[in-house]
């Protein structure tokens, strides 16, 4: 590691040196000479300490460069002195993030000539993103408090923290890649030789009812089969604050927490699709518009991209991006949209998207979700008028296979997805 910055504080030593010189000029005696001798030793120690810090060798090793939110990494430094003086110091790694720093505790260390000294920190991250661990701060203080050094050593190194996932069993991806020559929708999407189990009856043809189980349970249950083809999904992650928002100072704060939640949900969608051998592409509408095709990629590639995306309070509008992509939709495409706030301005574009795609699913998260494992409580949410109007039109939109769900603050993501899947 190289020295990025070196600063020293020696004001007390300078003041005492001034006092010693004045004393010796006014009265040169044995006491003043002893005082000057002590000051000379302090100055020598100050100079030697600076040279030792400049000649110190520092090596860094980390346990891994990719991890998920909440996981820990080990950062280990090996210090070796190259000058015949022992350095009593405190070491502190500096971890820079997009906003702020990661707080760590300093450790006391003694660095001697030609002796390896190892110090280690275990650090975990609560938020996704790129973390800069390039710097190490070494501070040295004179035992008498006459001077101090602060040296920042630098070697470029970054760690990428990936978003965590939410586990869920169902996804609103009913449409599959089309197979020509099939007349029945169920034959088109499902392999009748691949029996997966049973589920509650939701209006399927009568020949799909599992009569024996229905008789035992006292309710209708239908057979569930595996699919003969893979899903094709276009996922839109809208991170910006739409221009239809009025109380922007309030929603700008809400958007920050939504950003982290929506990235987790998008990551969970992508991982779930890959585990079910589906196909997915991602469009993020934030600080800039990114389009990521899933061809030849693994789900971890999407996670690396999602770890660094962010939105803006005034940025690209979703309907403009949707309008640009209309020509790429086909009857085998399922469009899924995650957003914080959408009004009626988006409606014509949803209808146009549905005219080209098989299905359009819109999930709005204005007030977050209920975390798994928590019981639902009383809701005090008040939806803005624009979202209320969109909610009222949701029933009419569903007739056109445009599903709009506004997640309430006491709803879990599982409940919303199960509701979409059962419609």
Hey, which of 14-18, 216-220, 249-253 has the most confident mean pLDDT?
14-18
Contacts of residue 252, defined as CB under 8 A and 6 or more positions apart, other chains included, come to 241, 313
Starting from the edge strand earliest in sequence, which strands make up the sheet with 57-62, in order? 57-62, 72-80, 116-124
Contacts of residue 74, defined as CB under 8 A and 6 or more positions apart, other chains included, come to 62, 63, 120, 121, 122
Residue in 55, 13, 19 with CA at minimum distance from that of residue 142? 13
| Per-residue confidence (pLDDT) for residue 375, from 0 to 100 | 65
pLDDT in tens, 333-386: 889 999 888 877 888 888 888 888 888 888 888 877 776 666 666 665 666 777
Hey, which of 21-35, 120-134, 179-193, 404-418 has the most confident mean pLDDT?
120-134
| Per-residue confidence (pLDDT) for residue 186, from 0 to 100 | 40
Structural domains of the chain, ranges and CATH numbers in brackets: 2-162 (2.60.40.10), 182-228 (no CATH), 230-422 (3.40.50.410)
Cα 253–Cα 256–Cα 262 angle in degrees, nearest 5? 135
Structure-token pair, residue 303: 């996670």
Residue in 288, 276, 343 with CA at minimum distance from that of residue 321? 288
Hey, which of 26-40, 383-397, 406-420 has the most confident mean pLDDT?
26-40
Average pLDDT, the chain: 82
Contact 42, 144 (CB under 8 A): yes
Residue range 164-184: mean pLDDT, rounded: 54
Cβ-in-10-Å burial (0-12, 13-18, 19+) of 369 comes to buried
Is residue 184 pLDDT above 60, yes or no? no
d(CA 35, CA 68): 59
Residue range 84-96: mean pLDDT, rounded: 88
| Per-residue confidence (pLDDT) for residue 278, from 0 to 100 | 76
| Per-residue confidence (pLDDT) for residue 180, from 0 to 100 | 42
| Per-residue confidence (pLDDT) for residue 179, from 0 to 100 | 42
| Per-residue confidence (pLDDT) for residue 312, from 0 to 100 | 86
Cα 96–Cα 248–Cα 260 angle in degrees, nearest 5? 40
| Per-residue confidence (pLDDT) for residue 173, from 0 to 100 | 55
Distance, C-alpha 84 to centroid of its chain:
46
- Torsion sign, CA atoms 253, 257, 260, 264: negative
Lowest-pLDDT range, 14-28, 240-254, 279-293? 240-254
d(CA 65, CA 259): 23
Residue range 109-116: mean pLDDT, rounded: 89
Between 105 and 410, name the one with better pLDDT: 105
Largest CA distance in the chain: 114
| Per-residue confidence (pLDDT) for residue 140, from 0 to 100 | 93
SS3 412: coil
For residue 180, the 8-state DSSP code is T
């Amino acid at each position: 590691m190289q020295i990025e910055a070196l600063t020293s504080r020696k004001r007390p030593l300078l003041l005492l040196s001034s006092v010693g010189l004045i004393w010796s000029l006014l009265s040169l005696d044995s006491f003043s000479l002893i005082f000057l001798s002590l000051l000379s030793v302090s100055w020598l120690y100050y100079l030697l300490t600076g040279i030792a810090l400049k000649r110190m060798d520092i090596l860094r090793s980390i346990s891994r460069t990719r991890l998920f939110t909440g996981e820990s990494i080990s950062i280990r430094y090996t210090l070796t002195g190259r000058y015949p003086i022992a350095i009593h110091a405190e070491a502190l790694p500096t971890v820079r993030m997009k906003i702020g720093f990661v707080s760590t505790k300093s450790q006391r260390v003694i660095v001697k000539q030609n002796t390896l000294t190892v110090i280690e920190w275990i650090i975990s991250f609560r938020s996704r993103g790129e973390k800069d661990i390039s710097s190490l701060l070494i501070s040295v203080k004179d035992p008498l408090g006459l001077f101090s050094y602060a040296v920042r050593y630098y070697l470029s190194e970054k760690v990428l923290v990936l978003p965590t996932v939410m586990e869920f069993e169902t996804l609103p991806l009913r449409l599959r890649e089309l197979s020509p020559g099939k007349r029945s929708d169920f034959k088109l999407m499902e392999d009748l030789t691949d029996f997966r189990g049973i589920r509650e009856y939701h209006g399927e043809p009568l020949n799909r009812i599992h009569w024996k189980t229905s008789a035992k349970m006292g309710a209708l249950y239908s057979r569930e089969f595996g699919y003969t083809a893979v899903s094709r999904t276009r996922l839109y992650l809208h991170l910006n604050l739409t221009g239809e928002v009025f109380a922007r100072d309030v929603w700008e704060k809400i958007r920050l927490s939504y950003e982290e939640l929506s990235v987790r949900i998008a990551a969970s969608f992508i991982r779930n699709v890959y585990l079910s051998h589906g196909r997915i592409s991602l469009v993020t509408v934030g600080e800039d518009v990114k389009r990521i095709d899933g061809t030849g990629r693994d789900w971890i590639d999407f996670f690396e991209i999602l770890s660094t995306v962010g939105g803006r309070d005034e940025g690209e509008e979703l309907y403009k991006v949707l309008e640009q992509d209309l020509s790429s939709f086909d009857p085998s495409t399922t469009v899924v949209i995650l957003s914080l706030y959408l009004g009626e301005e988006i409606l014509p574009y949803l209808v146009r998207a549905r005219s080209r795609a098989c299905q359009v699913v819109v999930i709005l998260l204005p007030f977050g979700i209920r975390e798994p494992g928590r019981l639902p409580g009383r809701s005090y949410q008040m939806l803005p008028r624009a979202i209320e109007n969109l909610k009222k039109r949701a029933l009419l939109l569903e007739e056109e296979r445009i599903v709009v769900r506004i997640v309430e603050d006491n709803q879990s993501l599982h409940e919303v997805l199960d509701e979409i899947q059962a419609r």
